[in-house]
Amino acid sequence: MNTQKQIALDAIELVRPAIERLFSRTNRQELHIVVMDPRLKPWESSFEEAVLVETSIGQPDAWTIPFDQLARKKAQQAWRDSQANINHQTAHPSSLRDDDVLYYGSFVYGNVVVACSGVQQWYDMLISGWIALAIEQLTINDYQLQKTNNPTQTYRREQ
């Protein structure tokens, strides 16, 4: 079976052509992506330990805005409450903490949390959703192949 990190990176590459096509509609062609480890919960690890993948599209050295920091903050909000941070921004602003970012752009699908920053917040959320759905579906495929190819395997990773 592929590792969670391999699947997350594969998901990003799978949707990358759609991201690049979307860039023709966005205010810039820069993006930072944060994927949280879906196996870890806030009460089990620190945020830093739970970050599974971070990657950038564009030229991070030329950024005038710290998209990486903003994406991490969006991911932290979503991971903390297991819901897209648009809910904090629109329906439950009382849950915002002093250091929470005031832009949305994350997506939560089951236990998969993805956040992006770099383009308009609604497009950040769209891209996060594409990646989150791709991660889950690629994991399902990997899981089903493992079960088919090894029908007597008892655990995900046998030693």
Instruction: With a cut of 90, say whether residue 154 has pLDDT above it.
Output: no
**Structure tokens belonging to residue 127:** 């891209």
Burial class (CB in 10 A: 0-12, 13-18, 19+), 100: middle
For residue 158, name the pLDDT band (cuts at 50, 70, 90).
low
Considering the entire predicted model, what is its pTM? 0.94
Instruction: Give the pLDDT confidence score for residue 136 in this predicted structure.
Output: 97
**pLDDT tens by residue, 8-47:** 999 999 999 999 999 999 999 999 999 999 999 999 999 9
Instruction: With a cut of 80, say whether residue 156 has pLDDT above it.
Output: no
Instruction: With a cut of 80, say whether residue 125 has pLDDT above it.
Output: yes
Q: Cα–Cα distance between 70 and 135 in angstroms, integer? A: 22
Q: Assign residue 82 a region: left if phi > 0, alpha if psi is -120 to 50, beta otherwise?
A: left
Query: How confident is the prediction for the chain on average, in pLDDT?
Result: 94
Q: Which domains does the chain have, with CATH numbers?
A: 4-148 (3.30.450.150)
Instruction: With a cut of 80, say whether residue 141 has pLDDT above it.
Output: yes
Instruction: Give the pLDDT confidence score for residue 151 in this predicted structure.
Output: 85
**pLDDT tens by residue, 74-97:** 999 999 999 999 998 899 999 999
Instruction: State CA 157 to chain mean position distance.
Output: 24
Of the candidates 83, 81, 68, the residue with the CA atom closest to the CA atom of residue 132: 83
